[in-house]
Amino acid sequence: MGFMSSPNPEPRLTSAKIVVAGGFGVGKTTLVGAVSEIPPVNTEAWMTQTSKTVDPLSEDTGKVTTTVAMDFGRVTLADDLVLYLFGTPGQARFWPMWDDLCRGASGAVVLVDTHRLDASFAAVNYFENDSDVPFIVAVNLFDGEQTHDLADVREALQLSPHIPLVTCDARTRGAAVETLTTSLNHTMRQTANGHDVPAVR
Amino acid sequence: MTVNPWVRPYVLTGGRTRTRHPLFVHTLVSVPQYDPGYAAQLPPEARRLYERANTAVQSVAELSAHCGVSLGVTRVLLGDMAARDRMVVNPGGYESPYDPRLLKRVIDGLYELA
Ligand SMILES: Nc1nc2c(ncn2[C@@H]2O[C@H](COP(=O)(O)OP(=O)(O)OP(=O)(O)O)[C@@H](O)[C@H]2O)c(=O)[nH]1
Ligand SMILES: [Mg+2]
């Protein structure tokens, strides 16, 4: 590999990423915060309509730029392994941003609030149709109690039978960890048998 | 803001700097060999990124957030520095985010946290 000329050893730290998606206020930031070793970093990212020709430092290109808030957390899992958790911006009109956040992700969790299932329709649609990243759906138990039968939720979301549907309390680390590992186990199953192994780029 | 001549060539060649590895938001970068002279002549945003990246290996998103430089601009500037070997884009240990060895390590690591 390259970099032979550099005097310092090339860092061997590896990073992985899980995306936490869902509609407005479903608990994405809460879930990221429950696992992250740093408070979720909220940053403004520029979204440009086309990435091919836009000079991001120039305002006279006539291209539309929108500011989007996104947040992420970080978990050091080992000396050489860091996991990043990215919460997608809630609104579906920021899909180009979602593409960007999802590229290279090992898995995705779509959070839903059973009182406002429709808030997460767009996110489910996105992962079903527009993304190759394997996803699961997690019902955030806002009041700690499951108020809807999961079978009904699955029906309402029109989820394919192979997509895991779980419940979690986004505020507690244990439940958040369980949700994330369910997501990665799902990815493992989805990609192990050779079907649906998208190229990353 | 006026056009920054320092990034112009890359913009003209299609807006994407060619780097050996893609710059995802979670891609780790670092400074292989800090050069104060190089830092001194950088435009402010690039300089903040360069200085910050020199403190620890970190992700594109962290650099963007902590330096107050938007993600798009951060990518362009890091890509440019990487193309000049001023920044190393960490290839990571795995070819694919779906590599079962990687997935297993992350799962095990998460369980240890819980
Ligand atoms: N009681 C309870 N409140 C919760 C839970 N999860 C999130 N909340 C609250 O619900 C609100 C929204 O949670 P966030 O984590 O900010 O949701 P989000 O999906 O990041 O929201 P946006 O980024 O605005 O789309 C906050 O006031 C949280 O404190 C939960 O499990 N139980
Ligand atoms: Mg949020």
* Domain containing residue A170: CATH number: 3.40.50.300
Tell me if chain B has a CB within 8 Å of the CB of A60: yes
Nearest ligand, CA A22: 1
In chain A, residues with a C-beta closer than 8 Å to the C-beta of B110 are 35, 75, 77, 83, 177, 180-181, 184
pLDDT for the residue A40: 83
Nearest ligand, CA A26: 1
C-beta A25 within 6 A of ligand 1: yes
pLDDT for the residue A111: 96
Distance A191 CA to ligand 2 centre (A): 29
C-beta A24 within 6 A of ligand 1: yes
In a domain, residue A132? The reply is: yes
pLDDT for the residue A47: 46
- Per-residue pLDDT reduced to its tens digit, B10-44: 443 334 445 556 899 999 999 999 999 999 999 99
In a domain, residue A148? The reply is: yes
Q: Which atom of ligand 1 is nearest to the CA of A170?
A: 31
In a domain, residue A53? The reply is: no
What's the domain count of chain A? 1
Give me the domain span that covers residue A177.
14-41+70-193
Report the candidate in A34, A21, A16, A14 with the shortest Cα–Cα distance to residue A178. A34
**A82–B72: do the CB atoms touch at under 8 Å?**
no
pLDDT for the residue B18: 53
Which of A31, A79, A106, A185 to mutate to probe the B interface, most B CBs <10 Å?
A106
In a domain, residue A199? The reply is: no
Q: Which residue of A30, A139, A146, A178 sits with most ligand 1 atoms within 8 Å of its CB, as the best mutation to test the pocket? A: A30
In a domain, residue A170? The reply is: yes
Give me the sign of the Cα torsion angle B73, A6, B98, B19. Answer: positive
pLDDT for the residue B71: 85
Q: Give pLDDT tens digits along chain A (201 positions).
A: 444 444 444 447 999 999 999 988 899 999 999 999 988 887 665 544 333 334 444 444 444 555 566 789 999 999 999 999 999 886 666 777 788 899 999 999 999 999 999 999 999 999 999 999 999 999 999 876 777 799 999 999 999 999 999 999 999 999 999 999 999 999 999 998 654 545 454
Closest Cα to atom 30, ligand 1: which residue?
A142
What residue type is A99 in one-letter code? Answer: D
pLDDT for the residue A66: 52
Q: Is the ipTM here above 0.85? A: no
In a domain, residue A79? The reply is: yes
In a domain, residue A176? The reply is: yes
Q: Is A148 in contact with A112 (CB distance < 8 Å)?
A: no
pLDDT for the residue A12: 78
Averaged pLDDT, B98-114: 95
pTM: 0.84
Q: Which residue has the higher pLDDT, B113 or A95?
A: B113
H/E/C letters for each residue in B42-105?
CCHHHHHHHHHHHHCCEEHHHHHHHHCCCHHHHHHHHHHHHHCCCCEECCCCCCCCCCHHHHHH
pLDDT for the residue B86: 95
